[in-house]
Amino acid sequence: MRRIIMTITQLLGWLGFVFTIALVTSVLFRPPVAPRGDTAAVRAVLEQRLDQAVAGDDLVGGALLLLEDGAVASEHYAGLADVGRPVTQETVFQLASVSKAAAAWVVMTLVDDGLVELDAPVSRYVEDYTIPSNDFSPDAVTTRRLLSHTAGLTDGLGYLGFVPPVPTQSLEQSLLNAADTAPGRDGIVQIGEEPGAGWRYSGGGYTILQLLVEEVTGEPFAHYAQTAVLDPLGIEDAAFGWDEAYAGMIAQNYTEDGELADLRRFTALAAAEMYATAPELAQFTLAAAPGPSGEPVGRGILSPELAAAMTSPHPEATVGRTSVWGLGYQIHAEMGPDHYVAGHIGNNRPGLNHAIVIDPVTGDGIVALGTGGTAAVTLTCDWMVWYSGTIPRSCEDLYLSQAVLPVIVASIAGLSAIVLWQGVIGPRVEAAAQKRRAGSKR
């Protein structure tokens, strides 16, 4: 019995030790990948890691652009966009949920023009659709709350899209019961929590905003977005929704095993289906910061005040005490008073994985795009740790998941050693020692 208790104690102690080390090294005290402030060093490390991800079959293809002082400082491309076609400056990516940041700009042009009030009920602008709710008033759902995921919507979407030639749903059909929901979601956009009481991610909220834009402007969302935001930014080849001109330029959707998968189409354009090249996406990302030649935040498309509000925390968008969202942008790190690093991460299954990050004060940031793996978001998190000196909450789960395999290996090795010692080697050593002691007494 004594040996059993000792074995169990050692097993639990080893597991606690391994998990503590994993938590400390992966989240609490993760060192930066390069000396802080050394832009040449971090560029070299991240570019090397992108190449290694492709060479190690952790990514099929990707793009990495680093931003400094309001301009693109470096570009690096690796791997394949399609069979026999490398990723280049001309490669077009389906941007997944990064689309939401650009869609937020589209909505904010209506606010800037006085056509939409941020804190007015969305029902004022969307007259033929009422958000289902049993316990809460739809009038508490505002544009500001939809942009910041604080409207109390409980859909949790996550759209999967439709495989051509399967037709997409209408906006109204999708809002009532989306047919392309991620596993574990019911596809119904409804108010399940008190609006304004906290943050909860909702792709369905951006589909409501897509409908709002169409109702207010009388134009298809994609067309208004093109004329109001994308063309004025000088990224005329970017677009919401598929264009056949992309056929020979698109980065295909690969699984993490490197198998070609379907590139899907979406009803929820605002939430999931914008297309752009890496340089175009960088140009959009930089528009949230001052330009190198004095270009204003917002680039004249949005007032500097509205653009700044987008990358600043919304008071209701908190998890615990941590501010997590602005108006269309995720809040990643606090650099100082009223100074935050913001951006957006996107993932369209099975393997499109992207991120943008911008410091709206300095114009420093990163654009990382990938297909066939999660390396792009990992590189972005590594850049943010290097830049901010902290581990953003948005990266904690990623870093912990990457520590799982080493933890399992170390746990199995340690547990095996303990069991082997206590069950086999230890008893034999003890028996041999007893035998020697008995012989010496004779």
* Cα(192)–Cα(209) distance, integer angstroms: 18
Residue 263 lies in a domain: yes
Residue 23 pLDDT exceeds 50: no
pLDDT value at position 151?
A: 98
Averaged pLDDT, 288-299: 97
Are 20 and 165 found together in one domain?
no
Is 136 found in the same domain as 12? no
Amino acid 18: pLDDT = 45
- Summarize the confidence of residues 70-77 as an average pLDDT: 98
Q: What is the mean pLDDT of residues 367-372?
A: 98
Whether residue 6 sits in one domain with residue 64: no
Q: Cβ contacts of residue 4 below 8 Å, gap of 6+?
A: none
Residue 406 confidence (pLDDT): 55
Using omega within 30 degrees of 0 as the cis cutoff, is the peptide bond preceding 32 cis?
no
Q: How far apart are the C-alpha atoms of 24 and 28, rounded to whole Å?
A: 5
Confidence class for position 74, pLDDT limits 50, 70, 90? very high
Question: What pLDDT is stored for residue 5 in this prediction?
Answer: 64
Query: So what's the pLDDT on residue 91?
Result: 98
- Residues 413, 282 share a domain: no
% of residues, the chain, pLDDT over 70? 84
Which comes out higher in pLDDT, residue 405 or 95? 95
Q: Please tell me whether residues 39 and 18 are part of one structural domain.
A: no
Co-location of 411 and 371 in the same domain: no
111 shares a domain with 72? yes
Residue 303 has pLDDT above 60, yes or no: yes
Q: Give the residue numbers spanning the domain of 75.
A: 31-390
Within the chain, what is the greatest distance between any pair of CA atoms?
Answer: 104
- Other CB atoms within a 10 A radius of the CB of residue 441 amount to 6
How many C-beta atoms lie closer than 10 Å to residue 419's C-beta? Answer: 13
Helix (H) or strand (E) holding 223: helix 221-225
Domain contains 395: no
Classify residue 106: in a domain, yes or no.
yes
- Kindly state whether residues 341 and 220 are assigned to the same domain: yes
397 inside domain: no
Provide the domain count of the chain. 2
Give the HSE-up count for residue 79: Cα atoms under 13 Å, Cβ half-sphere. 31
Q: What percent of the chain has pLDDT over 90?
A: 78
CATH code for position 207: 3.40.710.10
**pLDDT above 70: residue 360:** yes
Lowest-confidence region among 35-44, 96-105, 263-272, 398-407: 398-407
**Same domain? 52 vs 86:** yes
The yes-or-no verdict on residue 11 having pLDDT over 80 is no
- Domain-located, residue 342: yes
Q: How many other C-beta atoms are found inside a 10 Å radius of the C-beta of residue 144?
A: 21
**What gap in Å lies between CA 436 and CA 442, rounded to an integer?**
10
**In the prediction, which pLDDT does 22 show?**
47
- Of 100-114, 172-186, 310-324, 395-409, the one with minimum mean pLDDT is 395-409
Nearest one of 126, 367, 343 to 235, comparing CA atoms: 367
Judgement on whether residues 152 and 119 belong to the same structural domain of the protein: yes
Q: What is the mean pLDDT of residues 183-211?
A: 94
Rounded distance between C-alpha atoms, residue 240 and residue 227, angstroms: 11
Identify whether 350 is preceded by a cis peptide bond (ω within 30 of 0): yes
Q: pLDDT at residue 17 above 80?
A: no
Q: Are residues 63 and 177 in the same domain?
A: yes
Triad 196, 201, 204: Cα angle to 5°: 95
Rounded mean pLDDT of 332-349?
95
Q: Is residue 323 part of a domain?
A: yes
- What's the chain's average pLDDT? 90
For 374-424, how does the pLDDT look when each residue is reduced to its tens digit (9 = 90+)?
999 999 999 999 999 999 988 988 887 775 555 455 556 554 655 555 556
In a domain, 398, yes or no: no
| Lowest pLDDT segment from 202-206, 225-229, 412-416 | 412-416
Sign of the dihedral defined by the CA atoms of residues 117, 118, 119, 122, in that order:
positive
215 and 363 share a domain?
yes
Q: Residue 433: pLDDT band by 50, 70, 90 thresholds? A: low
Closest by alpha carbon to 267, among 206, 219, 330?
Answer: 206
Q: Which of 16-20, 107-111, 139-143 has the lowest mean pLDDT?
A: 16-20
Helix (H, G, I), strand (E, B) or coil at 308: helix
Please report whether residue 396 resides in a domain: no
